[in-house]
Amino acid sequence: MSAARRTTTVRRKALAVGALTLTLATGLAGCSGSDDAAKGTPGGAGAKKGQAAAPQAAPRLIGDGSTAFTGAQPRQPVWQKLKPGETPPQFVVFSWDGAGEDSQKLFSHFRAVGKKYDATMTYFLSGVYLLPEEKRELYDPPQHSPGRSDIGFNDVEGIRATVRELRAAWQEGNEIGTHFNGHFCGKEGGVGNWSVEEWKSEINQAKSFVKNWKTNAGLRSEQPLPFDYEKELVGARTPCLEGRDNFVRAAAQMGFRYDTSGVNDQIWPKKDLGLWDLSMQLVPVPGRAFQTLSMDYNFLVNQSGTTQGDPSRHRYWGDQMRDGLVQAFERSYRGNRAPLIIGNHFESWNGGTYMRAVEETIATVCVQKDVKCVSFRQLADWLDAQDPDVIAKMRTLKVGEAPAGGWETFLAPQPAAPAGAPAKGAGQTERR
């Protein structure tokens, strides 16, 4: 990744949320190397992922050959509707904001971790990571002058490395989403002030940088990305978790299927304007009397307030994050089975302790019975395969609440209507 990408300062701010006597102190998600942080086989419950396979068809190049249609994505599960009385799987989603490969080689490292523990993930690519510095004027950000980006741009070798990882990640069954482009946060021109039309412009530009990286970077001899990004791109996380309302309106008009930019409790998701709301979640901070968002940056804000905190505290902080995520997992796994959503950045903040925490969390949770570590797209596929009434019933379970009488009773078949009773819609109005 370019020097500009590694040193650019990104504006961030902390979010304080109070709930009864609990105090939540959390930072909104950012993507930077900045030190400025002080501000398979079908089954009722699911399916095993199949083995990775070669593309099913000869690549059909798209546009300038930066992307190509290569057939169905390998290693995708085939989900089935829950059977009556069946226990739902415990889903866990690990996701990454920015998703570029630089000298830290964290993208390639976590690809290997995912393969080791049979975990597919979502990589939210920042479009400007495929745009070289000398072509920066091609980016025309809403409410900013052309060529402006709060996370810089890339260089040719950084683009080559990032494309290599994106290509392999998709072939291994992972999802490529978007974290948009310039990562503008805060009051002055931040994404929280963008209109629906401005969000559409940002989305279209993010797509363009993926679809034209060969031309823009002069890397015409490189292999294409093995997917059609118009079809691949179905979800996103906004910079700093800001601007969600208008983004969702724009995304709903552009065929997106989910958003993960809000703040939720660990309960079953619902749809918002047709998109699954798979937002970040509040999780425990062990030893503290509050919760924070399930993201490395938010733990950092509560622990050190800087990316270069006291080295003697690094191990403790990483252990605290890992243990908080595992506690969040356990209360869902043994309770309401709501999906656990975890977000991170490819950063070595506080000595890389958060990267260790994430890897140890993956090693702890993804190997357990009935646990499926999946991408957001795969989770959305499972949710869409279910009976909406079943999802609605599971949404009645509170954080950590196991169904009374067990899942067999809670999701038992509904009694048949008495003989001769009129069917719904035949003169009856359902009461809710």
The pLDDT of residue 10 is 34
The pLDDT of residue 397 is 98
Q: How far is CA 91 from the centre of its chain?
A: 13
Residue type, 176: I
Decide: 92 and 329 in contact? Cβ < 8 Å.
yes
The pLDDT of residue 38 is 29
pLDDT tens, position by position, for the chain (432 residues)? 543 344 333 333 333 333 322 334 444 444 443 333 322 333 344 454 444 454 456 789 999 999 999 999 999 999 999 999 999 999 999 999 999 999 999 999 999 999 999 999 999 999 999 999 999 999 999 999 999 999 999 999 999 999 999 999 999 999 999 999 999 999 989 999 999 999 999 999 999 999 999 999 999 999 999 999 999 999 999 999 999 999 999 999 999 999 999 999 999 999 999 999 999 999 999 999 999 999 999 999 999 999 999 999 999 999 999 999 999 999 999 999 999 999 999 999 999 999 999 999 999 999 999 999 999 999 999 999 999 999 999 999 999 999 999 999 999 987 765 666 555 443 343 333
**DSSP, res 395:** T
The pLDDT of residue 99 is 95
The pLDDT of residue 217 is 98
CA atoms within 13 A on the CB side of 117: 26
Instruction: State the Cα–Cα distance between residues 308 and 150, nearest whole angstrom.
Output: 20
The pLDDT of residue 17 is 32
Closest CA to 28 of 183, 214, 247, 253: 183
The pLDDT of residue 420 is 64
